[in-house]
Amino acid sequence: MKDDTAQKPDSNSGVTRRDFMKISGIGVAVPLVLGPKLVEAAGEEVAVHGPGKVAVTLDVNGRKLTAQLEPRVTLLDALRDNFNLTGAKRVCDRGACGACTVLMDGKTVYACAVLAIDAQNTKITTIEGLAQGDALTPVMEAFVEHDAQQCGFCTPGFIVATTHFLASHPSPTMEDIRRGLSGNYCRCGTYNGIRAVALATKGRVS
């Protein structure tokens, strides 16, 4: 095993393509190829995805955040693993459950279904960016008041989705709620409370 912080290539394994790029710092310039690529390790060829790490800059909650990321890294994983914004949850990791819902240029997206490199030059808002400091938003307060959460793992995604839904549906009917909040799943069964939140908070989200 090699220490990734080593500046010199390991004499046993030789210089891999990725090591070379890391050492020489040319990562940014390489084309963004998304398919598997063969690199050499221990005298054998190994399929790896991505040509290596590139500098990715994201505008998250009004802050510019930069990290060296491989092109295959999703927006969700960048937020969670690189920027420690862990409010968005990784649950299905393939765009089915909504637990990773964030706002991208004001619209809800599943952060697990967006690549971090594709999220550059957009404005991302996560659950952590919805509230000012420790104060809760009206939607968050209503989630507490109506006990619209149990384990809480789906809750941040649901709050981002509900906030966006109420901003675009200031006076929703039950049918609007049924359709508008169908993109998120809860396992503990908190939908009754979430419906109450949507009805109680209408007109209070801009």
Partner 1 sequence: MSEYQWPDPATRPLLGKPISRVDGPVKVSGRAKYTYDYNPDGLLAGKILRCPYAHARITSLDTSVAERMSGVKAVHVIQGPGIEVFWAGDEIVGVAAVDEPTAEDAIRAIRVQYEVLPHFVSDAEPPKNIALDTGPMSRDNFEDMEDNQVPDEQVIAAIQRNGISFKPDEKYLKAAQESGVDPKVVQALRTAKYAEATTSRSPYKKTAVQTQGEPDKAFASAAAVSEGIYGASCITHCCLETHGMASEWPTDEDMTVHISTQNLSGIAGQVAEPLGIPAGNIQVLEQYIGGGFGSKFSPDRWGMTTAHLSKKAGGKPVKIMLERDAEQEVAGMRPSTFARVKIAADKEGKLVAWESRSWGTGGMGGGGTPPLPYIFEIPNQRKQNIAIATNQGSARAWRAPNHPQAAVISMGAIEDLAARMNLDPVELITRNLELTGTRKKIYRDELPIAAELMEWKKNWHPRGDKSPGPVKRGLGLSLHTWGGRGHNSDCDFTLHPDGSVEIKMATQDLGTGCRTLITIVAADTLGIPMENIKLLIGDSRYPVSGASGGSTTSGGVTSSTRRAAVDARQQLFAKVAPALQAKPEELEAVNGFVRVKSDPGRSLSWKEACSKMGAMPLTVRGKNPDKSKPPDLTNSGVGGVQMADVSVDTETGIVRVNRMVAVQDCGLVVDVKTAESQVLGALIMGISYALYEEKILDPVTGRMLNPNMEFYRLAGIADIGELKVHMMTGKGYDERGVIGLAEPPVVSPGAAISNAVANAIGVRVPFLPLTPDRVLAALEQGGAHASL
Is residue 2 within the footprint of partner 1 (CB under 8 A)?
yes
Q: Which is nearer to partner 1, 82 or 120 (CB)?
A: 82
The residue assigned the tokens 């709050």 is: 159
Q: Which of 70, 76, 124, 163 binds partner 1 (CB under 8 A)?
A: 70
Distances (CA, A) of 136 to 40, 180, 189: 51, 23, 23
Binding mask 101-140 for partner 1 (x = CB under 8 A): -------------------------xxx--x--x-x---x
- The one-character DSSP state at 10 is P
Structure letter (DSSP) for residue 102: E
Size of the site for partner 1 (CB under 8 A): 74
**Segment contacting partner 1 by CB under 8 A, of 27-35, 103-111, 114-122, 142-150:** 142-150
Fill in the amino acid letter for 92.
C
Least gap, CB of 21 to partner 1 (angstroms): 11
Q: Which of residues 78-107 bind partner 1 (CB under 8 A)?
A: 80-81, 84, 86-94, 96-97, 99
- Residue 32: Cβ within 10 Å count: 13
Region of 26-34, 77-85, 103-111, 114-122 interacting with partner 1 (CB under 8 A): 77-85
Kindly tell me which of 59 and 131 has the beta carbon lying closer to partner 1.
131
Helix, strand or coil for residue 63? strand
Burial class of residue 124, CB neighbours in 10 A (0-12, 13-18, 19+): buried
Q: How far is the CB of 51 from partner 1 (least distance, A)?
A: 12
Residue 74 · residue 132 · CB < 8 Å: no
Closer of 46 and 167 to partner 1 (Cβ): 46
Cα dihedral across residues 97, 85, 4, 118: positive or negative: positive
Identify residue 23 by its one-letter amino acid code: I
Which of 59, 118, 153, 199 touches partner 1 by CB under 8 A?
153
Q: Is 187 in the site for partner 1 (CB under 8 A)?
A: yes
